[in-house]
Structure 1
Amino acid sequence: MLIPAYLTVYGGVAAVAVGVHLLLRQRRRHADAAALAEASQAGLNLPASLHPVVDPNRCFGSGACVKACPEEALGIVDGKATLVNASACIGHGACVSACPSQALSLVFGTSERGVEIPVLSKEFETNVRGIFIAGELGGMGLIRKTTEQGRQAMNAVRQRVAESRSNAPLDVVIVGSGPAGISAGLSALQHQLRYRILEQEDSLGGTVYHYPRKKVVMTAPAKLDMVGSMSLGTEVAKESLLSFWHEVVGKTGLRFQFGERLEGIDPQADGSFIVRSSKGAHHAKAVLLALGRRGSPRKLDVPGEERSKVVYRLIDAEQYRGQRMLVVGGGDSALEAAIDLARQPGTQVTLSYRSQAFSRVKDKNRQQLKQLQDEGRILVWLQSQVLRIEDDQVVLSTQDGEQTLRNDGVIICAGGVLPTPLLQDIGIRMETKYGTA
């Protein structure tokens, strides 16, 4: 029996297409395995916060979760979905929704490293009556759910305020201006509560504000009091979400006190609280903590660190074009900041690190740093420390003695101080999660 010529042609085209598909899939899986090996070698294979775990008995390696992850944190290794780039994962959960076999779930901690989470009631109240926690600090990283938690927690706060016999001038102090804090603030406005929102940073957005440009931060709609549905699409970038929040604040008149860091909470005999901050004290009947898990930036505690030219995260390298910059730190965030700055025209970059080598960093960052260092675009001072920061210069302590560098700006990437000790001082009970929801 003769096979028609057109069927032979179509069959050949189909065979080529299948072959190309299999080749590309094989290359991708080799790349995934290499990414996992690189992260493991650098000690970066343990996720810091909320992240997906895979049930190997359910996963059949469809790759749907890999395609759904904008951060490329997931890959297919040995035929199963695997977290190959844990440091990139932000726990927004797009992978969980995309999985056709429901093989993924979001958890905190791992079997090797636990994460402390406050114990909360179903109304998001801690064991300290009148103190509530919503959002990432309470164990939830999804913006949609943290937004809902802020709204629900404020409903519970209303009940506590109604029961209170205190004469405190405020009904509630909200700490944090991320999704949970914004949502709670709008609920406080709608219910005509006397509120105050404190934010340690100088801008709206909390943790979202510090994500890289164009990073996808939200994949599902959320509901806000006074606004309604927050439907911005299936892959919402940082800039779009921040723009939306600023529009909401402008329309509703929601007020924030920026640059005010939480320093302590003192319970009062009448059941109210004195909330101590870097700028004063606030007396309220209830407190809602809507903090992220990044905590407060770890400081160097050196003279001059309070100067306005000192920041603790690089948001936009372009703003430092043509300037003389010092980056302090030895992790990926420090190396990436130095690399991004060095790529700006005319920017002079010095990287200071107290140890003798960069250990827990991605190999890609290490190689890019070496290349820029060889090209003379980054000056690296290992085993050095900042002694003082002055108006137009910084002084380093190095193995060669004190070094004075002309300077326009300092970026300190020394990690964060988690709020766990503060919570424990207040008496809030914690539990440790070892890879559990």
Structure 2
Amino acid sequence: MMDTPQSNQAKMMFADVQADYDVVIIGSGPAGLAAAARAHELGNRHVLLEAENHASDTIYKYQKGKHVMAEPGVLPLRCGLPFAEGKRESILNDWNKGLTDQGIHIEYQKKVNGIAKSSPTSPFQVTCEDGTVYTSRTIILGIGLQGNVRKMGVPGESLPLVQYTLADPEEFKGETIIVIGAGDAGIENAIGLAKQNNVYLMNRDDEFGYCKDGNRNLVLAAEKAGQIKICYKAFAVEVVETGSNPPLEFVFDGKNGQERIACHRIIARLGAIPPRKLVESFGVQFPNQNPTSLPVLSESYESNVPGLFIVGALGGYPLIKQAMNQGYEVVQTINQLPVVQVDEPILRERLAGWQKSKSISEILDEVLARVDLFKSLTKLQAREILMESNSRQYKAGEVIFKKNDYTNTFFTILEGSVDIEFEKEGEKPQVISLPAGNFFGEMGLVSGRRRTATIKAGKNCIVLETARRGILKLIATSDEARKKIDARFIINSLITYIGNVFSVDDLLELSKEVEIKRFNAKTTIFKEGDEPDGLYLIRSGSVSVSKNINGKDQILAYVSAGNYVGEMALVDNSKRTASVNAVVMTEVLILKAESFKKMVDKNPVLLQIMRAKMIDRTRQNSSHEALGQDQSGIANFFLSQGLGEASDVLVIDESLCVQCNNCETACSETHDGVSRLKRAAGATYAKLHIPIACRHCENPSCMKDCPPDALSRGSNGEVFVNDSCIGCGNCERNCPYGVIQMAVNKPPKKGAGLSWLLFGLGEEPGHRAPDYDPAARKRAVKCDMCKTIPAGPSCVRACPTGAAIRVSPEKLLKEFLG
């Protein structure tokens, strides 16, 4: 039995329990090391058990030379061991030195296979595979998530050249390698391999939302430099042995449909399935059967088993600095010393005085109790949501957002109520009141398009406004929250798209029968001649409607998110009269034909709405069929240039353009000498030219990876860069249309415009002397649609012939399709 002169035993939890140790710490990851260091500092009788023959096995297995981040940057470190951003080897050396210098009691090759307690007053009995037994008053469990490696889940996942770890990237040279996984491990492997191999990185999302900012910057820079090819929205289908060289073929569904890549090996970094069965054998409970769910923990990280604490990744804190702080705080709790979590000042600021008389713990209880969406979350998850949120207080009748605004934050109602106004042309707005505990804003969040209704505050209205990124993370980690958001989206979609002709019970019943389906870009949703299978509500993205005329497909219409297709065949009970194809990655809500029939039978008014829509569309399609291939070709050109995801695009009619370049000059003069457009660049078809200028996309790629959140969307749809830009260049790398550049603002113009015009004196407009420091920090610059100028975009106003216009894709395509 160990003893220490400075022992704090009298003040500890379970101080009257007789045991060999005050605390047994299992797992020497960052949390376990920090806990052991603090226990040693407080004089606790402790032992740190490690299953391997070295400390911190997860970091030990990082690839050689890995640069380890110290995130989150805003949090200070509480720990008796050093930790700062640096190389894997340096960090391990510092920790090993700390273990030795401080005399921390660590025992290696002690793999724990049992934790038991014979009675509430008895000590924990910890058993190892080698037969060693330890007794302890308390347990800190920090074994991480590296239980069973998560495999691809497709045919061919276990072939010899499919591997799930990578120790040394230098081992492979001159190969084509597929790396699957857009987390930190996958990114680091891809970057390490890219120096001497041809590397493809598969990302199931359209952004890097689950990695550290530094890794995101590195992989996007490598993509920009052509060192790595990144495939977004990529879902593995199978791995096939070719019997030749290269020996494998990787098949996946991507943005452009199903693709195949021949390769020498596949490295899948998909994390691991948590060691849940082992943890449950210790008596620890989980909230549900979801294999990725976290154990039920108190705010002090104590499990349902009194005295058994869970820290690190297993407890929901995968980042090193968070885990080390957690280990420190748990030992403070065990010693019954004061614990103030390091993020509390930040949370107080976010809450802006709401419930200021209460502790953060009490506020979290309040939020979990009031907001239905958050009820399935742990306090730790709720804490993360608050870190991405701000509380807002509104006066009764004050507008929170307006219909057709382009904002995309998400709101939960903490107090009071809000009124949702659904407007139809020529009709009085229909108002639905939402009380506290509900949420709104999911329509714009999911579709990326304009707000579909006006929201006004009721009495005593306080809401929590959460950044899009925070809610997307919640959707990815909580099935329960995702289902609730999907259900609400479906209900509001039915009201918005079809009309408020249903009772609340009808809506709830219908929401259960709606299927959500995703279609890759350029894939067919349904074909002309198909039997009708349902009504398709476009949730996000856009589609084209086409018909085969004289052996050629002719585009009849472009339909964006917020509308529906497929009603004509359902109303007429006939086969599909046209084909519908996804223009970009598109998600639809499918109301099955049987459900649609039941809905129509129950609501005769709905049949009238649908029939009127069908007659209007039939008339439009008939006129479009007579337009011929020229107009259809123009529509195809616009959609091929990405206008399907644009909200506002600059188009130049080259039959009117005199190439004076006034548009570029005006843009430059308006924006401190840096033009946001390139007139001569871009694609042209039938005298219609789309220059290099921002399209202000519905779901802007540039906004997805901005560390300071410097890119914002105005209520009119304009995407602009604010003053918090740090010049990291992520937005420039992410933009698929090359419309963002990094630039130093040139000096103010010299005021020679009129004198130059009349007498030829001074610099001509649009030209600046290059007297700025070329080493100065650059910032991202892009078109902001001249949002501060009431007269509108300078490029359009400066055109002497009217050749340049800015227009929405819907209006543009309507112009050519009739």
Larger relative contact order, structure 1 or 2 (CA cutoff 8 Å, min sep 6)? 1
Fold shared per TM-score above 0.5:
no
TM-score, normalised by the number of residues in structure 2: 0.24
Could you say which structure has the larger radius of gyration? 2
